[in-house]
Structure 1
Amino acid sequence: MIRVAGLFAGIGGIERGFQEALGDDGVSTVLLCESWDAAQKVLEHRFPDTDIHPDVRHLKKLPRGVDVLTAGFPCTDLSQAGRTAGIGGSASGLVTHVFDVLAKQAKRRLPWLLIENVPNMLALDNGKAMSYLVQELESLGYRWAYRTVDSRFTGVPQRRRRVILLASVREDPRSVLFADDAGQHDAGELAEDAYGFYWTEGRRGLGWAVDAVPTLKGGSTLGIPSPPAIWHPEGEPGRRFLKPSISDAEQLQGFPSGWTDVFDDSSRRNGPRWKLVGNAVTVGVSRWVATRIAEPGDSVVEEEMWDRSGRWPTAAWGSDGKIVKVAVSEFPLREPYRHLLDVIEPHSAEELSQRALAGFWNRLSSGNLGRHPGFREHILADLGAAIA
């Protein structure tokens, strides 16, 4: 039985993945620490037998016998979409408390530590955040490995890149993170009947994705969602630009539909649910990690020493000051793929409003983005008199 404790637990994406991989007889979630009351409500509902702690800053110790400590710490200060204040920012800087907890476990160092965050931390300030994480881990005697992965490898149609950092004192994290490699995604496997993009952008980027949505965002705590849009070229005029529902978004993150449907007040357009789902860890990613922790494999990658110049590589491992660059794809596996229109029902999905579409067109038309054949033409046709 693997005992898991989760810090910055969100809605339990990592822990849900461990459950799916190992079953109720193979894993026990003994502690979840989360400060946001909305996320706490989801955790209390979905993990009813687990102790919920409200603040990592005041967590004095872990339960006895923890095998895996997880920490999807806030990415607000590290992501390109966030404040980019760096690892010392008020949100992302909370990761220091993970190492405080580990230091208190000095007499029994944990078998495994799992950290998840955005790839921008490898580049921001020349990877200052990753340098900090590695330094803290090595000071506590842990060896480590990390890998950038794309959530599409789990079969969900969401292009979401995240760094998975795994550390251990007595185990070799390479046997988990580098035991599988399926190569890059085969574009020939993708359907060409739906394309995801962000209608809130247009001048500098679209987040364009074929047969997938771009990375889901958190939206706001006030219940203002920030869903991507979907272009369905084969749809009827007026129904070619759609938005996923919150239930769709849950599935795009690998959760069962309705995972966050635990609130009494649904009058504010799903309340905090969009932010909860957008901030979550894709379930299938942690399912893969848990499977490999239970059954380690042989590393299948090519390696070379890294000279520490510039941004950090997309995958590496190290210990005692040594850093080894790893040549590996972002697709450890290729689980059966759910096409975007297998998740989003085009006949019932909400349409992107004329106002939203017009605002997007105003931004798009000032630049050279969105040149996929038919895309701009369909926007203009669906707007019709609205821009005349």
Structure 2
Amino acid sequence: MVGLFAGIGGLELGLGRHGWNTELLCEIEPGAQAVLRTRFPDVPLHPDVTRLRSLPRDTELVAAGFPCQDLSQAGRTAGITGSKSGLVDEVFRLVKRKNGPRWLVVENVPFMLQLGRGAAMRHITDALEELGYMWAYRVVDARAFGLPQRRHRVLMVASRTDDPRTVLFGQDAGMPMEGNPDLFPCGFYWTEGVRGLGWAVNAVPTLKGGSTLGIASPPAVRLPSGEIVTPGLTDAERLQGFDADWTAPAVEAPGVRAGHRWRLVGNAVSVRMASWVGHRLNNPIAYSSDHETPLLPGDTWPTAAWGARGQAFRVHESQWPVQAPYEDLGGFLLDARLLSARATAGFLRRARSGNLRFLPGFLEDVENHLERMGGFPRVAA
């Protein structure tokens, strides 16, 4: 397989657990390159997809977690033709030859389904169909694979020879009941507080490379004790399915600071999510049309669909294909530290100025935490 826009290797690591060995990596970001050279030492690394002339002969699978900065709600939402996300067209250029790869696996943020009133997805599906591909996609939640991070991502699989529906559909465990927020750690974005919170019971909200304050920062976690902490970097790596210190080699690249590792982790593909795709590629499930309805022109893109030759169908399956044994968030907070007084005070001020509703006792816990941290500082984050 070939990994384009490989980042720190989440897709490649997960797929590799099921026999999909990486023959070539392509990544332009220096910090990510340093990680890939260390973690995949025997795999050639190409620095620029726009200058990659062709894929290795007999490439079976191309994995592409193409840049999401122009698609995500944390980014500029420039769209599929933005300077970064428009690079997906380079994927189509590389796979268009007659005897191209058997499989194409793409990962991105769910906002791509809404962007430009569906224009981003139409661009991708039209391009795939012009190349003779049948495609399927499904929004999945990383919590389905046991990780306590509420991370929704679009997984798309396409093929000219096989049926991608047998990879993404046929399993639907459904979302389990949410736990008691008084008994479990609860994650939230301390950088929010006015229009959103990202509240998650026994999980953190999506780890991101940026925030509404323009900084890369971890979410906060309210512990059952009332303390407010933030996961450490190695905690975040494990919440994405990597080993602790997976991104440590990044700082060896010239000009890359330690804080940049947060951005690399936030932009990565969940390893367990990729591993599930690898398992299903090797263990397809016969597709049944019992849970589909036609997707008509002008309809909004649903959370699961497939299409070919100008026709598309909505698939009524949840974002939880499986319910893997769930790991409590508390077990991941091995390098956590208390949320600073400055950050806590900033969150409180934003929360009090907005109209959000909070669970009973939550703001009191935040206020008590601030008091234990020394009270309001002169400047709040």
- TM value normalised by structure 2: 0.93
The within-5 A match list for 1:247-286 is 247-263=234-250, 270-286=258-274
Letter in 2 for 1:94: L
Question: How far did residue 187 of structure 1 move?
Answer: 1.7
How has the CA–CA distance of structure 1 residues 265 and 286 changed in structure 2, closer, same or farther, with 3 Å as cutoff? closer
- Determine helix, strand or coil for the equivalent of 2:366: helix
Alignment match, 2:27: 34
Gapped regions of structure 1 (runs ≥ 5): none
1:176-213 Cα offsets, whole Å, 9 max, x none, are 00021111233259883211011111101011111100
> What displacement does 1:33 show?
0.3
Secondary structure (helix, strand or coil) at the match of 2:346 reads: helix
Amino acid at match of 2:10: G
Structure 1 match to 2:314: 325
Q: Cα distance, 1:379 vs. partner?
A: 1.3
Match of 2:66 in 1: 73
Secondary structure at the counterpart of residue 32 of structure 2: helix
CA distance in 1: counterparts of 2:135 and 2:181, whole angstroms: 34
Partner residue of 1:10 out of 3, 7, 10? 7
Counterpart secondary structure, 1:6 = strand
The 8 Å contact of residues 180 and 201 in structure 2, kept in 1 or not, is answered as no
Distance 1:158 1:60 in 2: 38
* Residue among 168, 178, 184 paired with 2:175: 184
Distance 1:87 1:126, change over 3 A: same
SS of match in other structure, 1:107: coil
Q: Which runs of 5+ in 2 are unaligned?
A: none
Say yes or no: does 1:305 pair with 2:294. yes
Following superposition, the deviation at residue 219 of structure 1 comes to 3.8
**What SS class does the counterpart of residue 249 from structure 2 fall into?**
coil
Give 1:370 shift. 5.1
1:77-156 equivalent positions in 2, closer than 5 A: 77-103=70-96, 106-156=97-147
Asked if 2 retains the 8 angstrom alpha-carbon contact of 1:192 and 1:210, the reply is no
Q: 1:133 to 1:264 in 2, by over 3 A?
A: closer
Matched, 1:59 2:72: no
Amino acid across the alignment from 1:340:
L
1:344 alignment partner in structure 2: 333
Q: Deviations over 1:340-378 (max 9, x none)?
A: 101114xx6211000110011000011232511211111
- Pair 197,370 (structure 1): closer, same or farther in 2 beyond 3 Å: farther
Q: Is the 8 A contact 1:246 1:270 kept in 2?
A: no
The verdict on how the C-alpha distance between 1:269 and 1:371 changes in structure 2, with shifts beyond 3 A counting, is farther
Structure 1 residue 174 displacement after superposition: 0.5
Q: Identify which range, 194-203 or 363-372, moves more after superposition.
A: 363-372
Question: Which amino acid in the other structure matches residue 285 of structure 1?
Answer: M
Instruction: Please list the CA deviations of residues 271-306 of structure 1 after superposition, one character each: whole Å capped at 9, or x if unmatched.
Output: 321111100000011101111111111225601101
Instruction: Rate the CA distance shift 1:160–1:90 in 2: closer, same or farther, 3 A.
Output: same
